[in-house]
């Protein structure tokens, strides 16, 4: 029952959203110039984004009750970069065993790919300040976006919060250096 609830909440959260330092195992890329740092006091994080993000709060209904999803998005050409986070319902947030965290991360990945119409191209387990996460790359077929596209998603579970970083765009719209700088600039603040 809890497994089904965890997965359904994660999928609902990702469907509503459109879309320390992490250590992914990714190929080396040429760094791009650093972007301005954005800090979310309520989200307790900092990240570099191309410009000041638009901020939204969406309330999502779930089997566990209403959940507020905080969304910070920036468009840059044919690409978009964003960070989303939410406090998970208490009955889910209190689950901290490895199997439950894996289910939450699996649900986040599956929900995001389903929502975007993405096809998984690679996935690595990562962490931030010892909290578990995933680094996911995906392709977007031409049926979902004209000309096809690509994206990178990172998901972290931190003390009952789910953080999602996404870079998404048309083919060729995501310079590897920019994506790496964005993803690697994400830090948790006390």
Instruction: Average the pLDDT over 47-54 and give the result.
Output: 94
Given a cut of 60, is residue 4 above it in pLDDT?
no
Q: For residue 188, give both structure tokens.
A: 């948790």
pLDDT of residue 52: 94
**What digits encode the pLDDT tens for the residues 128-183?**
999 999 999 999 999 888 899 999 999 999 999 999 999 999 999 999 999 999 99
pLDDT of residue 1: 40
Closest CA to 164 of 111, 114, 121, 118: 111
Residue with the larger pLDDT of the pair 5 and 87: 87
Residue with the larger pLDDT of the pair 147 and 30: 147
Instruction: Average the pLDDT over 20-48 and give the result.
Output: 73
Question: Rounded distance, CA 159 to CA 45, Å?
Answer: 13
41-50, 58-67, 81-90, 100-109: segment of lowest average pLDDT = 58-67
Given a cut of 80, is residue 15 above it in pLDDT?
no
- The residue extents of the domains of the chain are 2-188
Given a cut of 50, is residue 26 above it in pLDDT?
no
pLDDT of residue 36: 95
**What digits encode the pLDDT tens for the residues 78-122?**
999 999 999 988 888 788 888 989 998 998 899 889 888 899 999
Confidence band (pLDDT; 50, 70, 90) for 32? low
Beta strand segments in 13-141, E: 37-40, 45-48, 54-62, 65-76, 79-87, 119-128, 131-140
Domain covering 2-188 in this structure, CATH number: 3.40.1000.10
Q: What is the dihedral of CA 10, 15, 17, 22, to 10 degrees?
A: 40
């Amino acid at each position: 029952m809890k497994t089904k609830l965890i997965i359904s909440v994660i999928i609902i959260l990702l469907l509503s959203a459109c879309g320390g330092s992490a250590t992914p195992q990714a190929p080396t890329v040429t760094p791009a110039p650093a972007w301005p740092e954005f800090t979310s006091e309520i989200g307790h994080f900092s990240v570099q984004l191309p410009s000041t993000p638009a901020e939204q709060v969406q309330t999502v209904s779930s089997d566990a009750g209403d959940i507020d999803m905080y969304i910070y998005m920036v468009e840059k050409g044919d690409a978009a970069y964003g960070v989303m986070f939410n406090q998970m319902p208490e009955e889910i947030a209190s689950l901290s065993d490895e199997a439950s965290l894996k289910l939450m991360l699996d649900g986040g990945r599956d929900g995001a790919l389903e929502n975007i119409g993405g096809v998984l191209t690679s996935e690595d387990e990562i962490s931030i300040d010892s909290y578990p996460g995933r680094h996911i790359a995906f392709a977007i077929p031409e049926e979902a976006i004209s000309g096809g596209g690509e994206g990178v998603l990172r998901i972290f579970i931190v003390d009952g919060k789910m953080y999602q970083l996404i870079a998404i765009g048309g083919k060729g719209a995501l310079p590897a250096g920019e994506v790496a700088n964005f993803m690697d600039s994400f830090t948790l603040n006390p």
